[in-house]
Amino acid sequence: MTEITDPTYTQQLDAQDPLAHFRERFVIDDPDLIYLDGNSLGRLPQKSTQLAQDLVARQWGQRLIRGWNEGWIELQAQIGGKIGQLIGADADEVIVADSTSLNLFKLALAAVQYNNGRTKIITDDLNFPSDLYILHGVAQLAGRALQLQIVPSDGIHGPVDALTKAIDEDTALVALSHTTFKSSYTYDLTAVTQLTHHAGALMLWDLSHSVGSVPADLHAANAPLAVGCTYKYLNGGPGSPAFLYVQRDWQTRLGNPITGWMGHQNMFDFALDYQRDPGLRHFLTGTPPVLSTALIEPGVDLLLEAGMDQLRAKSVQQTSYLIDLWRAWLEPLGFRLNSPADAARRGSHVSLGHDDGWRISQALSHELRVIPDFRQPDNIRLGIAPLYTRYSDIHEAMRRLRQVVTDRLYERYAAEQNMVT
C-alpha cells in the first residue's frame, strides 16, 4: 500500500476523483498557488466572468431600466429556489436578500416577538461573533426582559449536553451555527431542532459555513428558520447577498420587523399603508443589488450539477486525509487538532492550532504560496472546497506548512495581527 505521505498517493486519488473536472470551470491563473480559504471566499467561476460582462454591458448598458421586467425582479426568488435544493427546502421557502447579519436580525426579532412572554435567547460560544452581536441587539430591542444566554463549550465541540439543560420553557429562540466558524464542529441539525421544539422555542440556524459543503435537510429536521451567506462555498463573490429561509407554515405567523417597499403586496400601487406580501417576499425590505445577486447563480449551478452527496463524500475524504498528514508530519512539531476528529461532526474546514499560528500563517502565505486564514487565538484554518481543491493541493500545502516550521521561516514575522485574514 502506498504511504499517505507519498505524492503518488494523491496522484491516484486525483485521477479517481469524479469531481476533478469541475476545477477547470473556475478561474485559476496561478497553478502554483494553493488556495485553502474557500471557506471564507470561494473562487471565481468561469461563467461568472462572462455573466458579469453581460450584466454590465448589455443588461445595464443597453437594456437600462427595462432589465427589471426582463428578469431582474425575479432574481432573488429564482436563485433562492436553487439554494433551496441544496438545503432541503422548497423554492418558495428561500429567497436571496440583504446580508447574513440583517437576515439574522429580521428572523430573530420576528421569532422573539412571536414567542412573547419568554425570557431567553440561547446560543453558544462557538457561534460567529457577528451573530452574537445581532442577538444581543435583538434582546435589547425586544421591549421586555429578554436575556441572551451564551452556553460555554470546550472550544471545539458543540456543548450539546449544556444546551439540553439550558433550553426550557422560558426559551424564546435558539440560534446556532450549523457548522461553527473556528473548529468546524457541525451540529446534528435534526436532533437540536427537535430539542428546541420540545421546549416550545423557535430554532434559527446559520448555514454560512455549511451550505454547499455539508448536507442540510431543513425539511427533514422540521427547521422553521435559517440564514446563510453566498460568498463561501457557493462562490458568489466578495460581499454577495445572503439568503433567508422561512418554513412555509411560519411565513404567515411571523412578520418582518423591517418593513419595506419590496415586501409590499402590491409595490407599484404606492399605497401609503403597508400591506405585506402573503408569502416569503414580505421578508424583503429594499431594492436588491442586481449585479451581485445575479453573480451568485453560476456557483450554485455548479454545486447542483455536482450533487451534495458527492461533494460531502469528497469533503470528508479530503479533510480526513489532511488530518492524517497532520498526525504524520505536524503533530510532532507542536500543531494541535482544533477540529473534531469525527468526520460526522466536522464540516469542510480543519483548524490546526499552534502557539505561533499567526506568524506561521503569514510565512505560509507570503513565502510558500499557500493561502489559509487565521482565527484567534491560534487557529490556522484550512478550507476544503470539493469543487476545486485537489488531493495533491492538500499534500503540498501540508508539506509547505511543515517547512515553515522546520526551516523557522515564521520567525521573520511579527506576532501582531494587523490585516484581514
Query: What is the rounded CA–CA span in Å between residue 145 and residue 412?
Result: 52
Query: What is the rounded CA–CA span in Å between residue 26 and residue 48?
Result: 9
Residue 389: which of 335, 331, 309, 311 has the closest Cα?
A: 311
Query: What is the rounded CA–CA span in Å between residue 317 and residue 367?
Result: 28
Residue 53 is assigned to a structural domain of this protein: no
Per-residue confidence (pLDDT) for residue 143, from 0 to 100: 77
Which CATH number goes with the domain that contains 200?
3.40.640.10
Task: Out of 283, 304, 325, pick the residue that ends a domain.
Answer: 304
- Dihedral sign from CA coordinates of 244, 248, 249, 253: positive
Same domain, 103 and 205: yes
What is the pTM (predicted TM-score) of this model? Answer: 0.97
Same domain, 173 and 265: yes
Q: Which three cell numbers stand for residue 55?
A: 450584466
Residue 56 is assigned to a structural domain of this protein: no
Same domain, 254 and 356: no
Quote the distance between the C-alpha of residue 65 and its chain's center: 33
Per-residue confidence (pLDDT) for residue 1, from 0 to 100: 40
Contact 198, 225 (CB under 8 A): no
* Residue ranges making up the domain that contains 225: 71-304
Residue 418 is assigned to a structural domain of this protein: no
Residue pLDDT, tens place only, 116-173: 999 999 999 999 999 999 999 999 998 788 999 999 999 999 999 999 999 999 999 9
Same domain, 80 and 31: no
Residue pLDDT, tens place only, 33-92: 999 999 999 999 999 999 999 999 999 999 999 999 999 999 999 999 999 999 999 999
Residue 54 is assigned to a structural domain of this protein: no
The tens place of each residue's pLDDT in the chain, 421 residues long, gives 469 999 999 999 999 999 999 999 999 999 999 999 999 999 999 999 999 999 999 999 999 999 999 999 999 999 999 999 999 999 999 999 999 999 999 999 999 999 999 999 999 999 999 999 999 999 999 878 899 999 999 999 999 999 999 999 999 999 999 999 999 999 999 999 999 999 999 999 999 999 999 999 999 999 999 999 999 999 999 999 999 999 999 999 999 999 999 999 999 999 999 999 999 999 999 999 999 999 999 999 999 999 999 999 999 999 999 999 999 999 999 999 999 999 999 999 999 999 999 999 999 999 999 999 999 999 999 999 999 999 999 999 999 999 999 999 999 999 888 767 6
Task: Out of 277, 304, 331, pick the residue that ends a domain.
Answer: 304
Residue 363 is assigned to a structural domain of this protein: yes
Task: Out of 257, 289, 304, pick the residue that ends a domain.
Answer: 304
Contact 191, 293 (CB under 8 A): no
Same domain, 266 and 374: no
Residue 13 is assigned to a structural domain of this protein: yes
Same domain, 229 and 350: no
Q: Which residues of 240-260 are buried (b: 16+ CB within 10 A; e: fewer)?
A: bbbbbbbbeebbeebebbebe
Residue 245 pairs in a beta bridge with: 94, 226
Residue 160 is assigned to a structural domain of this protein: yes
Query: What is the rounded CA–CA span in Å between residue 416 and residue 358?
Result: 8
Same domain, 148 and 276: yes
Per-residue confidence (pLDDT) for residue 418, from 0 to 100: 73
Same domain, 42 and 179: no
Same domain, 286 and 330: no
Same domain, 345 and 297: no
Say whether 220 sits in a helix, a strand or coil. Answer: helix
- So which residues are the catalytic ones? 128, 206, 231-232, 381
Same domain, 255 and 286: yes
Question: How big is the chain by its Cα radius of gyration, in Å?
Answer: 22
- Look at the chain and report how many structural domains it folds into: 2
Query: What is the rounded CA–CA span in Å between residue 389 and residue 348?
Result: 11
Residue 26 is assigned to a structural domain of this protein: yes
Residue 347: which of 164, 98, 226, 177 has the closest Cα?
A: 177
Which CATH number goes with the domain that contains 398?
3.90.1150.10
Q: Classify the phi-psi angles of 26: left when phi > 0, otherwise alpha if psi is within -120 to 50, otherwise beta.
A: beta
Same domain, 324 and 228: no
